[in-house]
Chains A and B, each alone.
Chain A
């Protein structure tokens, strides 16, 4: 069974630009969660989607948004990039029934210059 895939793996952007990250969950998984990982803040929850609906949201500004498609694939968008957005963005998928096991993708490393 294929694991969670994320594209692209690396991105370099400049301040003010916007970026879209993509996540394809494990087949059969309907829940996709996004996390931001930075050395200073650890693993921070961004949001979770289940069946195309945002079910949970972390404490991030509105510049961070996401969506999920009918095939459970998910995208995350960050607008008006700031230097502090440089991080590893991790996507995790699960069946979404209760707190079941999340499986993580390899992440997208975003660098904002």
Chain B
């Protein structure tokens, strides 16, 4: 079955703490893409990153980093030195060759000042 699991429903951290959002996916496909999106209170999903199934290199972009491990079917997202502006709902998603996208249920991150 194709599925994306974000087990953490809500996380609260204090500003400047590091936080990791977990994402576990299931697929039978050998070629697929993984995505992370941020949904601030305004509602619009903002694209953060895309990785394809053949590229297990970790990615760092400023305070954001992503760890992709095919062995554990995980694509975790870490925010270093979190800020109040990071407060949002974060979605992990999988894109399949059939032009379908499977979204996780999202993790609400609250960063407290």
Contact = CB atoms under 8 A, between A and B. Distances in A.
Interface of A: 31, 33, 35, 42-43, 45, 48, 50, 55-56, 88, 90, 92, 96, 98-107, 109
Interface stretch (B13-21, B43-51, B54-62, B73-81): B43-51
A23 B105 CA distance: 24
A65 to B, nearest CB: 19
Contacts of B68: none
Interface string B85-113: 00000010001111111011110000000
B33 interface: yes
B66 interface: no
Contacts, number: 60
A104 B45 contact: yes
Contacts of A106: 42-44
Contacts of B33: 99-100
Contact of B101 (A50, A88, A99): A99
Interface in B1-54: 32-33, 35, 37, 42-47, 50
Contacts of A104: 37, 44-47
Interface band, chain B: 20 to 34
Interface of B: 32-33, 35, 37, 42-47, 50, 91, 95-101, 103-106
Contact of B99 (A42, A56, A88, A107): A56
24 contacts: A31-B99, A35-B103, A42-B105, A43-B91, A43-B106, A45-B103, A55-B99, A88-B43, A90-B45, A98-B97, A99-B32, A99-B96, A99-B99, A100-B50, A101-B50, A102-B35, A102-B101, A103-B47, A104-B37, A104-B44, A104-B45, A105-B44, A106-B43, A106-B44
